Structure 1
Amino acid sequence: MKNLTVLVTLLSSLLLFTPVTFAAQEEQKIVVPSQIRGLNPSLYDKYEPSKSGLFHCLDNSKTIPFSAINDDYCDCPDGSDEPGTAACSNGLFWCKNEGHIPGSVRKSRVNDGLCEPECCDGSDEWATGACPNNCEVVGKEWRAAKEASEKIRKTGAKVRGTYIKWAQGEKRRLEEDLAKKRQELVTKEQEVAKAKAILEKTEAHSQEDLERKKKSPVYISLLSHRLALARLRSKTNRLETEIESLHSLLREMAKGYNPNYQDMAVKAAVVGYEELTGIKYREGESEGETEVKKEEQEEGDKEEEITEQELEALEKEDLEALLLSDTTDENEEDDEDDGTGLLWKLDEYIPESLYGSWEHVRDVAIDWMICFGLAGRSKTKTSSGDGPQVAAAREKHRLLNNELVKLNGAIRDTEDTLKNMELHYGREGEWKKLDGSCVDKVVGDYTYELCFFGKATQRSNKDKSSNNLGSFNQWNTAADQGSLGYYSQQLYKNGAKCWNGPNRSVTVDLSCGTSNALISVSEPEKCEYRFKVTSPALCWPEAPGSPTDEVKVKEEL
């Protein structure tokens, strides 16, 4: 049987060029590339025989007789001389597959006795005849599946079109909003700059006014009284300490005094101390009564004396703030308008070029109003020690600056969103519509949920507990950015840590579908989940050179 197989192989090799006949001393007939077994039509121009009847290996490594093509002996290092045999392991054998689409297999699979699905016509087993031609049946099934898939793609593409239209509208809205915010930014920066200039000028004016008031007799007198108060507190504290020491000595003496000793000096001291304190320490009066009288005396002292806290508050009073606050009469109502507020508010509307002149006019007007009793001095006392005008100017600058910071943050957020719409949300922004939307599926005791660009979650259907499976991290970086393969997979990482395992993560395989749906959930590795999801966002329009015209190749590792 083995010899028979070898004989068949040799006879088949002789028939590789059936249109070509060889005779001694006779001219060789022309070979047409389409007659070369296993040759891909895209390479026909490389296999035109030269006038000299030679063939150049496609890698230009050597030249061989054209008759050596498909002679079941590997001459060319790149295997280009054996497109239809297994003599050269590298390269592909092309199958015509009439009734279906062309395909290719590794040349090492040629005549191995196994039927390859890529060659439904069985041409890869031309020597063994092991495989029948099933292309008519396979092609019919493939076209039916293709038709169903195409129907899904077209339906999904229409939905994808609405996503794109929405994204375009959203992009226009964001661009208009960004332009508006940038214009607001220019205005707000001018307002902040003006408020800062007003604050600086108001501070300078307030400082000049403060220095003038600090030279007044009242302020000098206040400083003298404060110094005297501090010295008096220090002396009083020292005397109180000494008096308390004397009280302690006299109390002990009064308690331990024995009249039988008839020491008149000690007796007189004890009697005098008891009269001073109103407390009888000698026999006949209980200790409880003594303590009550002592407490009553201390309460009486407290009612008459100013407290230590009050003294400390007086000593720490901010005299400069008092000067700046410019307090009015006590008889005036607290909420009375001082009549000058309008003049200060006008600062906001005065052009920068006229502000210097206006400042002088404003100050003169305020002084005259105060002088003639048309306005009182501001009663406001600020915790920072600023005068009312400085405090108002500082608050105005603070509020405007906060608005500026918020506006800058809003501009950055809008710019980031617009930038992401270029590729992050798909080639045409189709994924933006799905940002934050969720799909879920019940699998056994759990409900799995995926929120696009958010996070994946596993929820127990029993106790409603949940596990974070990960947050969106990236698209499929193994494919070219912007390609269909790039948008066909998402990775969600850094989920809750598994017990004695890694942090949970999810790989999401995306495909075209008429709706957004979570189709299946699996866990191929511990705490590493695999979701299969369909979405209209993946239903791209069919491009020229679509899969129907492509050659299928079986990769062999």
Structure 2
Amino acid sequence: MVRSAIALLALSTALAADIKPFNPADIRGLDPSYLDKYTPVDGYITCLDGSKRIPVSAINDDYCDCPDGSDEPGTSACEGVGEGWFYCKNEGHIPGRVRRSRVNDGICDPECCDGSDEWQTGVCQDRCEAIGREHRQKAEAELKTRKTGAKLRGTYINWAVKERRRLEEELSKKREEVKTKEIEVDHTRAQLEKTEARSKEDLEKRKQSALYTHLLSQKLALTRLRSKTSRLQGELDTLHNLLSELSKGYNPNGQDMAVKAAVVGYEEFLKGDEPTTPAEGEDAPSVPDIEEEITDRELDEIDRKDLDGLLLSEMIGEDDDEEEGGILYRIDEYIPDALYDQWESVRDFAIDWMIRIGFLGRGSKAAAKSASEGPHVAAAREKHNKANGELNKLRTDITNAEETLRKMEKDYGPEAEWKKLDGTCIDTVAGDYTYELCLFGKATQKSNRDSSSNHLGTFTEWKTDEAPGTYEYYTRQYYRNGSRCWNGPMRSVTVDWSCGTTNAIQSVAEPEKCEYFFKATTPALCWPVEETSVKDEL
């Protein structure tokens, strides 16, 4: 009896030694992130949805016990239930996952290079070592590219820092220049207004002269005379036409003596206008010289003559003397504001004096250029316009610099690294065309057979469905509103960027009519490499 008990105890001990303790890590197809949820309590685990408890022996028994399918991570028994993922360890490479419905279906899925998804059929070999080695080589090459590209990106950033500093300094300088130029514009405007008032006053005085009044009255009389002459000429033409028709149709044998007298008189009138031919042997009668009649064109020129312009031309020097008088006006630019009024009086007195002694004449090229103002007014206006133009240019430069700085905060990357590439053009040949992309500018398709080209679009935006400042935001650019395709849409280009050591177009495709797709590389997208992520990837 004792011997039997001892033998039974020994057998139980031996059997217990052969039974391996339950370890969640040994569950086939289980994602390691769920290991703690498969730790048994009294030999049972709870379904992930908390609906029921099942014995550990029910795990992967090819029967779906849990409503969420969590008891069958390594079989296809719970197909279509729950998340349904089979985890592949892929030792020597990167772990992967496949749908549980693809477990033991006789197909080697690339996600499971270790073949564990076909554990029952055994048709797949473990290829993870070779695949992992190839992946690591590729990852190391990409890492090298990223590091090299990151250094180039650093030079772009350094350039952007200097450019931002330059723009800020330029802004500060130009804002100060604007203040100074605004004062100059106000000063030149005041000088112009004063000169215009002085010129207008002088002109009004000269309009009171007897010569101007006489010329004005003569011009008015000429205008009235031309109007009266034109009216009389019209009446004369009408009378001539009536008498001409009457002379053609009247009956000379008629008894109307008044009509006959009118016709005879008209015919005598016409004979009087005809040149007389001298009799044979007689000298032609001498004809007194008749002054040539003035033409309508000459009358029009006289009528258009601007008397105010004539007065202005009289107020300044002759053509040949313009340089001497003009010197006095050019000195205006160097006279301090405090002394300008005194200088103006001295200048005008000197010019009047030189005109009186004959040193300066009474005409000017400036008067010919402008019939409404003298050269001193024109010079003051030119000076004001020049200052005003310079002020407007300064303001435009400030606006452009402010806009560039604004773009450098977002549109050119988180560290403005893309600013260095603004305007840089890259191209590639694809088939019969050369495709050119000018960053932040436009895209063009050029024919390799002739000189024709198509505008493919202008830069519009980044990848707006991503947040500005993120890496993904700068991985895509859109170039839109190109020339319209024949019987199609307006041409456009989508550019997908990736990290590279050069700025280059890698490929060109046209997935839809006149909608082009470029793949391109740039160091601007080689963001700094974090050591932890590199180790995980390798």
Alignment of 1:307 onto 2:300: no
What is the alpha-carbon distance in structure 2 between the residues aligned to residue 255 and residue 443 of structure 1?
Answer: 89
Structure 1 counterpart of 2:13: none
Measured after TM superposition, the shift of residue 206 of structure 1 is: 2.6
Alignment of 1:428 onto 2:428: no
Measured after TM superposition, the shift of residue 334 of structure 1 is: 3.0
* Deviation larger for 85-94 or 66-75: 66-75
Q: Deviations over 1:301-324 (max 9, x none)?
A: 7x6222223323333333333334
Unaligned runs of 5+ in 1: 1-16, 21-30, 285-296, 552-557
Q: Deviations over 1:238-276 (max 9, x none)?
A: 333445556667778999999999x99976774565344
Measured after TM superposition, the shift of residue 541 of structure 1 is: 2.4
Measured after TM superposition, the shift of residue 106 of structure 1 is: 4.8
Alignment of 1:350 onto 2:336: yes
Amino acid at match of 2:475: S
* Secondary structure in 2 matching 1:90: coil
Structure 2 counterpart of 1:546: 533
The structure-2 alpha-carbon separation of the partners of 1:319 and 1:47, relative to structure 1 and needing over 3 Å to count, comes to farther
The structure-2 alpha-carbon separation of the partners of 1:91 and 1:174, relative to structure 1 and needing over 3 Å to count, comes to farther
Q: Is the 8 A contact 2:38 2:45 kept in 1?
A: no
| C-alpha RMSD of the superposition | 4.5
* Secondary structure in 2 matching 1:478: coil
Listed as ranges, the matches of 1:129-140 within 5 Å are: 131-140=124-133
* Secondary structure in 2 matching 1:235: helix
What is the alpha-carbon distance in structure 1 between the residues aligned to residue 262 and residue 51 of structure 2?
Answer: 143
The structure-2 alpha-carbon separation of the partners of 1:305 and 1:70, relative to structure 1 and needing over 3 Å to count, comes to farther
Alignment of 1:194 onto 2:176: no
Structure 2 counterpart of 1:515: 502
Structure 1 counterpart of 2:438: 451
From 224, 227, 240, the equivalent of 2:233 is: 240
Tell me the number of residue pairs that the alignment of Structure 1 and Structure 2 aligns. Answer: 496
From 512, 518, 532, the equivalent of 1:531 is: 518
Measured after TM superposition, the shift of residue 143 of structure 1 is: 0.9
Q: Is the 8 A contact 1:250 1:270 kept in 2?
A: no
Q: Is the 8 A contact 1:54 1:63 kept in 2?
A: no
Amino acid at match of 1:342: L
The structure-2 alpha-carbon separation of the partners of 1:307 and 1:129, relative to structure 1 and needing over 3 Å to count, comes to same
The structure-2 alpha-carbon separation of the partners of 1:19 and 1:378, relative to structure 1 and needing over 3 Å to count, comes to farther
Q: Is the 8 A contact 1:89 1:108 kept in 2?
A: no
Q: Is the 8 A contact 2:488 2:513 kept in 1?
A: yes
Structure 1 counterpart of 2:135: 142
Alignment of 1:226 onto 2:219: yes
Structure 2 counterpart of 1:274: 271
Structure 1 counterpart of 2:457: 470
Structure 2 counterpart of 1:8: none
Q: Deviations over 1:38-88 (max 9, x none)?
A: 56555667778899x99696xxx85755968967757687x8787667644
Q: Is the 8 A contact 1:512 1:534 kept in 2?
A: yes
What is the alpha-carbon distance in structure 1 between the residues aligned to residue 249 and residue 411 of structure 2?
Answer: 94
The structure-2 alpha-carbon separation of the partners of 1:99 and 1:360, relative to structure 1 and needing over 3 Å to count, comes to same
* Secondary structure in 2 matching 1:335: helix
From 156, 159, 166, the equivalent of 1:163 is: 156
Structure 1 counterpart of 2:404: 417
TM-score, normalised by the number of residues in structure 1: 0.72
Amino acid at match of 2:275: G
Listed as ranges, the matches of 1:70-109 within 5 Å are: 87=78, 88-90=81-83, 93-106=86-99, 109=102
Measured after TM superposition, the shift of residue 161 of structure 1 is: 3.2
Amino acid at match of 1:318: D
What is the alpha-carbon distance in structure 2 between the residues aligned to residue 45 and residue 364 of structure 1?
Answer: 104
Measured after TM superposition, the shift of residue 385 of structure 1 is: 0.8
Measured after TM superposition, the shift of residue 199 of structure 1 is: 1.5
Listed as ranges, the matches of 1:24-43 within 5 Å are: none
The structure-2 alpha-carbon separation of the partners of 1:63 and 1:342, relative to structure 1 and needing over 3 Å to count, comes to farther
Structure 2 counterpart of 1:291: none
Amino acid at match of 2:200: Q
What is the alpha-carbon distance in structure 2 between the residues aligned to residue 450 and residue 36 of structure 1?
Answer: 55
Q: Deviations over 1:388-430 (max 9, x none)?
A: 3222222222222223333333333333333333333333333
Amino acid at match of 2:336: I
What is the alpha-carbon distance in structure 2 between the residues aligned to residue 171 and residue 541 of structure 1?
Answer: 22
Alignment of 1:359 onto 2:347: no
What is the alpha-carbon distance in structure 2 between the residues aligned to residue 235 and residue 166 of structure 1?
Answer: 81
Measured after TM superposition, the shift of residue 172 of structure 1 is: 3.7
The structure-2 alpha-carbon separation of the partners of 1:318 and 1:48, relative to structure 1 and needing over 3 Å to count, comes to farther
TM-score, normalised by the number of residues in structure 2: 0.74
From 209, 217, 226, the equivalent of 2:210 is: 217
What is the alpha-carbon distance in structure 2 between the residues aligned to residue 117 and residue 350 of structure 1?
Answer: 87
The structure-2 alpha-carbon separation of the partners of 1:91 and 1:318, relative to structure 1 and needing over 3 Å to count, comes to farther
Alignment of 1:498 onto 2:485: yes
The structure-2 alpha-carbon separation of the partners of 1:183 and 1:154, relative to structure 1 and needing over 3 Å to count, comes to same
* Secondary structure in 2 matching 1:470: strand
Q: Is the 8 A contact 1:89 1:107 kept in 2?
A: no
Amino acid at match of 2:310: L
What is the alpha-carbon distance in structure 2 between the residues aligned to residue 250 and residue 272 of structure 1?
Answer: 11
Listed as ranges, the matches of 1:318-329 within 5 Å are: 318-327=306-315
What is the alpha-carbon distance in structure 2 between the residues aligned to residue 311 and residue 56 of structure 1?
Answer: 114
What is the alpha-carbon distance in structure 2 between the residues aligned to residue 493 and residue 399 of structure 1?
Answer: 40
What is the alpha-carbon distance in structure 2 between the residues aligned to residue 158 and residue 347 of structure 1?
Answer: 55
Q: Is the 8 A contact 1:156 1:537 kept in 2?
A: yes
Q: Is the 8 A contact 1:110 1:125 kept in 2?
A: yes
Unaligned runs of 5+ in 2: 1-18, 255-259, 280-286
What is the alpha-carbon distance in structure 2 between the residues aligned to residue 174 and residue 307 of structure 1?
Answer: 67
The structure-2 alpha-carbon separation of the partners of 1:273 and 1:204, relative to structure 1 and needing over 3 Å to count, comes to same
Measured after TM superposition, the shift of residue 164 of structure 1 is: 3.3
What is the alpha-carbon distance in structure 1 between the residues aligned to residue 379 and residue 316 of structure 2?
Answer: 18
* Secondary structure in 2 matching 1:314: helix
Structure 2 counterpart of 1:403: 390
Listed as ranges, the matches of 1:104-123 within 5 Å are: 104-106=97-99, 109=102, 114-123=107-116
Highest relative contact order (Cα 8 Å, sep 6+), 1 or 2? Answer: 1
The structure-2 alpha-carbon separation of the partners of 1:188 and 1:273, relative to structure 1 and needing over 3 Å to count, comes to same
Q: Is the 8 A contact 1:90 1:108 kept in 2?
A: no
* Secondary structure in 1 matching 2:469: coil
Q: Is the 8 A contact 2:319 2:363 kept in 1?
A: no
Q: Is the 8 A contact 1:101 1:549 kept in 2?
A: no
Q: Is the 8 A contact 2:446 2:453 kept in 1?
A: yes
Measured after TM superposition, the shift of residue 144 of structure 1 is: 1.4
What is the alpha-carbon distance in structure 2 between the residues aligned to residue 148 and residue 264 of structure 1?
Answer: 123
What is the alpha-carbon distance in structure 1 between the residues aligned to residue 380 and residue 71 of structure 2?
Answer: 90
Amino acid at match of 2:389: N
Alignment of 1:481 onto 2:460: no
* Secondary structure in 2 matching 1:511: strand
The structure-2 alpha-carbon separation of the partners of 1:543 and 1:82, relative to structure 1 and needing over 3 Å to count, comes to farther
* Secondary structure in 1 matching 2:529: coil
What is the alpha-carbon distance in structure 2 between the residues aligned to residue 220 and residue 48 of structure 1?
Answer: 120
Structure 1 counterpart of 2:352: 370
Q: Is the 8 A contact 1:504 1:528 kept in 2?
A: yes
Structure 2 counterpart of 1:334: 320
